[in-house]
Amino acid sequence: MKTLKALFGVSAALAVSLLATSALGQTYPERTITMVVPFSAGGPTDTVTRLVAEAMSKDLGQQIVVENVGGAGGTLGAGRVASADPDGYTLLLHHIGMATSATLYRKLAYDTLNAFEYVGLVTDVPMTIVARKDLEPTDLKGLIDYMKANKDTVTVANAGIGAASHLCGMLLMSAMETQFVTVPYKGTGPAMTDLLGGQVDVMCDQTTNTTKQIQGGTIKAYAVTSPARLDNLPDVPTAEEAGLSGFQVGIWHGIYAPKGTPADVTERLSKSLQVALKDPNVVARFAELGTAPSAEEEATPAALKAKLEGEITRWKPVIEAAGQYAD
């Protein structure tokens, strides 16, 4: 009899828990949601986040407030979300650094793969190989020869360890089989400012940060890292066309929630993301920035999880070969 009562008690508790979870999913969201960007305001990932957050807010009927929690290559913001209440009211929009941090940081406060629930992929932003406008080489082959010949003096800017520009720079070093002088900054803005001013020579960064400067002629573009040329930069060849075989890299972005967030809530967020990525303003603004929204089948928890797992595997040997760690 005692055993039966105990089993009944466990079953009742489980039923109450399931009902509560279901009710949460049905009523969610009831208040403002915070979406953390683990980088400074005004940067490429911040731009993407604010566009998506605005569109998702319209669909969800509640405001999504974007909060910038920068530092430590995006790991501070990610760590904050990992430790937040799993109720769907604190989210993270992170880029490829979510995958690379698993190797760049040998001591993380969270388990990259297991500390989060997955919402979906947002976009995959191409990179550009650019330089100060008065740098001598006129094409990518010339730039590569120039960098190899001047590897001890040519300077390559990035927005700090773990930033998209840092990762692209490491991949460029790997592809060229040459180490060169890197200059880390505290954010994309200062790095671009010094490139514009001629204080540094080269940078490899997202189209969301370089397109306007390329179009305005204030920096020199050598290649895009996409499989095909971009509509808004038709005169810039792909790295493959320009002679850097196999050099393709995109800075993908995804949305995460703390581990334990109810499945009904993450599913609601995923559906909202899919709606947001079809919003005319999002589509148009992404196009201006040289990217496109993820397809509906990619804006899902399963697709984002698979992407993260694959990218951790892809970047681990690149980072280890470069020997550049953040701790």
State which H helix or E strand residue 92 sits in: strand 90-94
Q: How many angstroms separate the CA atoms of 71 and 57, rounded?
A: 26
- Is 22 a residue whose pLDDT tops 90? no
Helices vs strands, H then E, count in the chain: 11, 9
Does the bond joining 86 to the residue before it have cis omega, within 30 degrees of 0? no
Alpha helices in 96-218 (DSSP H): 97-104, 140-149, 164-176, 188-197, 207-216
Question: Any idea which residue has 């490429």 for tokens?
Answer: 44
How many CB atoms neighbour CB 186 within 10 A? 13
Q: How many angstroms separate the CA atoms of 90 and 200, rounded?
A: 38
* Vertex 207 angle, CA 205 and 209, to 5°: 70
* Residue range 53-109, pLDDT digits in tens: 999 999 999 999 999 998 888 899 999 999 999 999 999 999 999 999 999 998 899
State which H helix or E strand residue 274 sits in: helix 263-276
Q: How many angstroms separate the CA atoms of 284 and 168, rounded?
A: 26
- 118 vs 248, which has greater pLDDT? 118
Q: What b-and-e string marks burial along 258-292, b requiring 16 or more CB atoms within 10 Å of the CB?
A: beebbebbbebbbbbbbbbbebeebeebbeebbbb
Question: Any idea which residue has 């550009």 for tokens?
Answer: 128
pTM of the model: 0.82
Q: How many angstroms separate the CA atoms of 189 and 209, rounded?
A: 9
* Residue range 96-123, pLDDT digits in tens: 999 999 999 988 999 999 999 999 999 9
For the segment 154-174, the average pLDDT, to the nearest whole number, is 88
Q: Half-sphere exposure of 222 toward its Cβ, with a 13 Å CA cutoff?
A: 29
Q: Give percent of the chain with pLDDT exceeding 90.
A: 69
Contact at 8 Å (CB) between 253 and 311?
no
